[in-house]
Amino acid sequence: MRRRRRFLALLFICFAFLTPLAFFYFTIANETNHDDYNSESRFRTFEATETVEMPKFTKLLESECAKFPENVTTLWPDCLEKMKWIRTGWKTHKCYSENRVDGSECSFRYYLSQVETYCPPIENLNKQWVFAKMSPSIRRLLPILEIVPPYMKTRITRLWQKWKNGAHEVFEKYEKAISERRKLNVLVFIGFLANEQKLKMAKTSDHGGPLGELLQWSDLLASLSIIGHHLEVSTDKTHMRSIVWKYGQKSPCQYVNGVRQHLDIIFTDIMGLNILRQQHRQFLNTNRCRIRLLDSFGTHAEFGNKAYFLQNKKELSGKLSQRNPWGGHGLDLRQHWTFYPHSDDNTFLGFVVDAEDNRKNYVRKQPTALVYGKEQYMWKDAEVPIRVLKKLVKVHATVADMSSSPENKSSIFENVQNHGFLNSDQISQLLDSTTIFFGLGFPLEGPAPLEAIAHGAVFINAKFREPKSRRNYRFLAEKPTLREVSA
């Protein structure tokens, strides 16, 4: 039940924030027809296009098309001005004629209400869209899996059946509300992978490196794919440049010959946003409101505005640093999507917790502890609690950088069964037999404690004598938040 709730929660978050109308149509038997991809770009992108069925409006009277409701200026404030412009401006670009604008009043009204959304629809003309269909086939993601780190590929494929089950449950529960949902053109630019040559995050992910960001991106890609949106994924600066050029050449019309021309949402991270700011400023300025920023720690209002921070940096900082390298983006705070629900100002995206299979027969576990610390430096100054823990239970570890030479091992690892680096399947199996998940105070946050709890373990974490924040703790010194961490 817990597993189902968590999958349902993340899927519903995607529906609620990506599509305000929150509609969709689902069928397992009738999979999406857009599984094909361009073989020339398969290693850097996966994209599809949306088409809109053009309704007939030629039989309508001009008087019908020129009639507007009394509340038009209230509910559609730009409508009359747009109608005035298009009567002469429709010849400025061929895309208007490609959308069946022919100089008649009905064609103007059709375009501004059916293709665009500036005007109220004509009563005798039903709006017709191609709706996003649930896409339970993992084939849509195959070209994406070619360009992401092995950890992301493994996680997506391992959990895919659970994503499908979650999609079924979402549809059954919210069928009426989500039966009609427009497809969105979604660009996903994973900035830290574009900086892989410098950061080595993907390279270190398979032997003990940080996994939180990779995990959240994996879940986001899986959910976007399975709910049927059109995806274009980039993990490379060169390919991102070609995407920017392509969308920069688009016409002023949202649709040309029924094909969707513009982006609806852009998912990126802070590193990706910096790349866009440095190399594609005009593209960023044009699409600023479409940005959804994956921001693990979140951003408080004091750090969102660069000028405000500079004026108040002494009050907002400690002795360790008075810099704000991860803030100052000038976005609406709701555009920052976080790993945990840190602040009401930001948007909580979250991640999926892979729970133990509820269908398994319950087996009483032997008391064992797994220490939350996969690199040796995380165990520093933890000798006393680890010594006590050893007296009570069998202690396991997954330290990836421990030397095999006995003389190089710290005494803290004596009588500790270290498994080294484990992949996600192996971690899941180990958690099945774990009764205590023991935190050392760092990492401060991550998915592992929730996964351990989902497998039935008790999470015990270190409590700090003094809460840690950017004012007194180096790891947080340049994070754009005043949040205090007490454990």
Whether residue 6 lies inside any domain: the answer is yes
Whether residue 77 lies inside any domain: the answer is yes
Contact between 313 and 322 (Cβ < 8 Å): yes
46 and 68 together in one domain: no
Contact between 9 and 166 (Cβ < 8 Å): no
The residue range of the domain holding 19 is 2-50+132-294
272 and 245 together in one domain: yes
Residues 6+ apart with CB under 8 A from 310: none
Contact between 266 and 292 (Cβ < 8 Å): yes
224 and 110 together in one domain: no
Q: pTM for this one?
A: 0.80
The amino acid at residue 124 is N
Contact between 68 and 84 (Cβ < 8 Å): no
108 and 24 together in one domain: no
Contact between 206 and 150 (Cβ < 8 Å): yes
Contact between 267 and 219 (Cβ < 8 Å): no
Closest CA to 374 of 261, 207, 247, 236: 207
190 and 137 together in one domain: yes
Whether residue 320 lies inside any domain: the answer is no
Q: Which residues pair with 292 in a beta bridge?
A: 267
285 and 414 together in one domain: no
Contact between 207 and 400 (Cβ < 8 Å): yes
8 and 147 together in one domain: yes
Whether residue 323 lies inside any domain: the answer is no
79 and 41 together in one domain: no
Residue where the block lists tokens 């009764």: 435
Amino acid 108: pLDDT: 93
Amino acid 21: pLDDT: 30
Report how far residue 4's alpha carbon sits from residue 227's, in angstroms, rounded to the nearest whole number: 17
Contact between 37 and 143 (Cβ < 8 Å): yes
Whether residue 198 lies inside any domain: the answer is yes
Both tokens assigned to 380: 């520093």
Three-state secondary-structure class, residue 478: coil
Three-state secondary-structure class, residue 177: coil
Contact between 256 and 111 (Cβ < 8 Å): no
Tens-digit pLDDT profile for the chain (487 aa)? Answer: 555 555 555 554 454 444 433 322 222 222 333 333 333 333 233 333 344 455 566 667 888 888 899 899 999 999 999 999 999 999 999 889 888 899 999 899 989 988 888 999 876 555 555 566 777 788 888 888 888 888 899 899 999 999 988 888 888 888 766 667 777 889 999 998 988 776 666 666 665 566 788 999 999 999 999 888 888 999 999 999 999 988 877 778 887 766 677 899 999 999 999 999 999 999 999 999 999 999 999 999 999 999 999 999 999 999 999 999 999 999 999 999 999 998 889 999 999 987 766 555 666 678 999 999 988 999 998 999 999 999 999 999 999 888 665 555 678 999 999 999 888 888 888 999 999 999 999 999 999 999 999 999 999 999 999 999 999 999 999 999 999 999 8
191 and 73 together in one domain: no
Cα 332 to the chain's mean position, in Å?
Answer: 17
Whether residue 7 lies inside any domain: the answer is yes
Q: Which residues pair with 294 in a beta bridge?
A: 269, 337
Whether residue 98 lies inside any domain: the answer is yes
The amino acid at residue 30 is N
262 and 395 together in one domain: no
Report how far residue 88's alpha carbon sits from residue 109's, in angstroms, rounded to the nearest whole number: 14
375 and 251 together in one domain: no
Instruction: Report the number of distinct structural domains present in the chain.
Output: 3
Contact between 410 and 403 (Cβ < 8 Å): no
Contact between 303 and 481 (Cβ < 8 Å): yes
With 0-12 / 13-18 / 19 or more C-beta atoms within 10 angstroms meaning exposed / middle / buried, residue 24 is: buried
249 and 196 together in one domain: yes
Amino acid 34: pLDDT: 36
Secondary element (H or E) of residue 71:
none
- Of 259, 294, 329, the one marking the end of a domain is 294
Report how far residue 465's alpha carbon sits from residue 391's, in angstroms, rounded to the nearest whole number: 25
- Which stretches does DSSP call E strand in 2-133? none
Amino acid 151: pLDDT: 87
Residues 6+ apart with CB under 8 A from 108: 65, 83, 86, 87, 90, 101
Q: What is the CATH number of the domain that holds 396?
A: 3.40.50
Closest CA to 443 of 383, 390, 377, 394: 377
